[in-house]
Structure 1
Amino acid sequence: MTFVVVGATGSVGRVVAGALETLGHQVRPVARSLGMPFERREKLNEAFSGAHGDATVALPFEGMCQTGLCKGKGLKEDCPRARVTVAQNLHGSTQMQPVLTTGRLVLRPLAAEDGPQIAHVFEGAGVRRYLFDNEPVSPEMLREIVEDNLRRRKSGFGLWLICRGEGVIGCIGLHRASPQAVEIFPAFEGRIETIIALKEDAWGAGYAKESLEAVLAYTSDVLKQRRIVALVDVPNRASHALFRRCGFREIGAGQGPLYRAIAYERTT
């Protein structure tokens, strides 16, 4: 795929361009948006119509930081919102699930051929214990997970593989609350839910927080969704700490197949 990276000469833009090239994509760098606001998608499309017909416009950030972290001095590299890559189709699609980048990671949407990669994430005992109630993930279940996530991509939802350098270290997902989650906590009906799983050798390095912050910024800035929920099994102390650090609050609890689960919500 060819990406037109707007703002590729800036520090954040260089990170984005490099990440896309690492993933094997062609990159056409553009220094600026020619004075057009980033939200004027049709004007950006027209300005960059000389790119490949299947090119995608990649915006390293949405123009202005709304978090207050930058205090009117422009975007800073340590601002989570500045690290989000919003990939939009050159011909006007505004919802396709994008590639996201952080300071150390690339979050790329799960592809049809990524079954073995996601299986390797799910096979870890620490992941399987909480994400799959300690049950093995069958080939049929894995195929269903991949197919379901490919269908969600057009709405901007789905699973991302969390990539560090050349390797996959985990995954993070965004979707309407699953029937299983709603059964445990009925108030989740229709809500947007997030899940995250890291391989055990990637625990303790801050990758989960870095990934979750990027997905949260994407959810609020691009999908314009202000409320996101998560379910965490009571014994999963690391995940409780993660969601609390990222601004989630406890709103209730319910009984899961193995453990009682705490319901969390984050509102912006």
Structure 2
Amino acid sequence: MDWPRYGRVTLKPFGAGLTEAEWKGLYETFRDPEVAEWNGSSPLRTPFWLFKRFVQAEMRRKDRLAFAILDEKGEYLGTLELYDLTPEEATLGILIGKKERWGQGYGTEAVRAALAYAFDVLGLRRVKLRTYAHNLRARRAFQKAGFREVGLGPGPQGKEDVYMEVRREDFGPEA
């Protein structure tokens, strides 16, 4: 069980198999209206069995790696993905589904674990992301994890987005 870790969090690959509690946590993450709004989507209305089938099909894609974010007790907190994966770069996506854990540094720690994995294990040169410009909490967390802002622009939801990236040469143990 040599999964990516940083601080209090562990990234459990979906390919390792999710427990029933982790599946339910993942399902509830995507059903929550507030989480969906911050993700630029609508709350999930799909039945659990169909959601599970869809996620299992997505796990077979070669251009993405998905992880359950587990806290220091091994309990589900959210999900993190590296997608649009190439030999050179990936895009990062993260959702902390347990809202009572927001603002406690778990997201930053999960991103640090993912970046170390992306650079040290996968050998990527760059990881990028896009988030809402008005989401100052997320922007600060990404910056604390090592990302820097590289541009602003209109996003698909009609809101201004900020584009961020971190390059391998700029990523250190405590960026």
Q: TM-score range by the shorter chain?
A: 0.7 to 0.9
Q: Counterparts of 1:171 and 1:262 in 2: how far apart (Å)?
A: 21
Distance 1:176 1:240 in 2: 21
- Please show how residues 1-268 of structure 1 align to structure 2 within 5 Å: 20=1, 85=2, 99-110=3-14, 111=17, 115-133=23-41, 135-139=42-46, 143-148=53-58, 150-152=59-61, 157-164=64-71, 165-176=73-84, 191-198=89-96, 199-252=98-151, 253-268=153-168
Q: Deviations over 1:145-181 (max 9, x none)?
A: 4421x214x67x422111121421111111117xxxx
Q: SS at the partner of 2:150?
A: strand
1:58 equivalent in structure 2? none
Q: Percent identity?
A: 25
Q: Which amino acid aligns with 1:137?
A: L
Question: How many Å separate the matches in 2 of 1:123 and 1:218?
Answer: 29
* In 2: Cα distance, 1:143 partner to 1:251 partner: 37
- Structure 2 residue identity aligned to 1:256: P
- Change in CA separation of 1:146 and 1:240 when aligned onto 2, cut-off 3 Å: farther
SS in 2 for 1:257: coil
TM-superposition CA deviations, 1:186-243 (whole Å, max 9, x none) = xxxx851001111211112111111110110010001100101000012211111111
The separation in 2 between residues aligned to 1:197 and 1:206, in whole angstroms, is 13
Give distance in 2, aligned partners of 1:131 and 1:138: 15
Structure possessing the higher relative contact order (Cα contacts under 8 Å, 6 or more residues apart): 2
**TM-score with structure 2 length normalisation?**
0.76
Distance in 2 between residues matched to 1:106 and 1:247, nearest whole Å: 18
Q: 1:234 to 1:145 in 2, by over 3 A?
A: farther
Quote the Cα distance in structure 1 between the aligned partners of 2:154 and 2:53. Answer: 29
Q: Which runs of 4 or more aligned residues in structure 1 lie more than 6 Å from their structure 2 counterparts after TM superposition? A: none
How far apart in 1 are the matches of 2:11 and 2:89? 22
Secondary structure at 1:151 match in 2: coil
Letter in 2 for 1:172: L
Q: 1:95-146 CA deviation, whole Å, 9 max, x = no partner? A: xxxx22233222111236654231122233332112143x121325664344
Distance (whole Å) between structure 2 residues aligned to residue 105 and residue 246 of structure 1: 14
> How far, CA to CA, are the matches of 1:222 and 1:191 in structure 2?
13
| Structure 2 unaligned residues grouped into runs of 5+ | 169-175
Is the 8 Å Cα contact of residues 115 and 143 (structure 1) preserved in structure 2?
Answer: no
